[in-house]
Copies of this chain bind each other. A is one copy, B any other.
């Protein structure tokens, strides 16, 4: 219940685009939970209430949400792109279990600081961090 709506509308207007009903529905469904999501999950979720929003529109709206700084592309899992919130969420890194797919989110300003330093050395302007590791989680290791 932040003002994603405001942010999104501002972005759209600045590009000469419109905050239409389907776009509102998509935005609100995306921000109805805090979870990562992929297009299929989002589509199913939306379809529970709104039978008139198409996959095409979802695929077309996601890049707008990304551009507006509301979400970002996250992991790729089972051949599908996944997304996560950036607006209203602290940045975090991911520990992904290769066995069960579980995602552990951990905050770490430290790693970002180091990356920032390294980027400076290379005259590189960081827009977005992508930090994580794959491995085996606690539960799966015990099996």
Contacts and interface: CB of A to CB of B under 8 A. Distances in A.
Interface stretch (A8-16, A32-40, A51-59, A128-136): A128-136
A86 interface: no
A122 B114 CA distance: 22
B123 A137 contact: yes
B126 A115 contact: no
A11 to B, nearest CB: 18
Interface string A101-123: 00010101011001100110011
A137 B111 contact: no
Interface of A: 76, 93, 95, 97-98, 104, 106, 108, 110-111, 114-115, 118-119, 122-138, 141
